[in-house]
Amino acid sequence: MDEYIDILNEAGEPTGTTCLKSEAHKKGLFHASAHIWIFNNSKEVLIQKRASNKDTFPDLWDVSVAGHISAGEKPNISAIREIQEEIGLSLKQHNLNYVGTSKKRIEHNKEFIDYELHHIYICKINFDIKSLKIQTEEVSEIKNIELQALIEAVNSKNNNFVPHGNSYYNFVFNTIKKYH
């Protein structure tokens, strides 16, 4: 879905300019997204498989929930909205733990340059995966995977995960390990 998003300066602050997400991607303009990693008391991490119709990384496993931050929206509000939209889980702000940012620029082709500041959240909560309702336009499948098995899968040579990069994954996984 195309939506208006804020354009950021190199420091990750809004410039006061907005445009459609499609235009930001076409021009390679810096913008923000929210990434939410959800795990339970057993350190099983919820991951999603991106829908096959996605413009980027279709059919690859990814973060529990992720999405662009709408123009004028705060990252934590966006995170809560995206969780509800993509997997049907209703959370409150106190469920989210903001852990940092990651800057990423990927040139998929000359017409699609994704230049994002990811606001990363983790959420430790017990839930019944069978009660979740996925947004099929965005997500084709969800599953829980034990943290150590996830680390091994992401680090395997021929993995089927979105290539966020080793530093991103190591940061997230090491942060999750700290939550007991």
What is the pTM assigned to this prediction? Answer: 0.96
Residue 180's identity, in one-letter code, is H
Q: Which helix (H) or strand (E) holds 55?
A: none
Q: What sign results for the dihedral spanned by CA atoms 84, 146, 52, 157? A: positive
Domains of the chain and any CATH numbers: 4-178 (3.90.79.10)
Characterize the bridge pairing of strands 97-109 and 14-20. Answer: unpaired
pLDDT given at position 20: 97
- d(Cα 56, Cα 71) in Å, to the nearest integer? 21
**What does DSSP assign to residue 151?**
H
**Run means of pLDDT, 10 residues per run, the chain, 180 residues:** 94 97 97 98 96 96 98 98 97 97 94 96 96 96 98 95 96 93
Q: In the prediction, which pLDDT does 51 show?
A: 97
Predicted confidence at residue 180, as pLDDT, reads 67
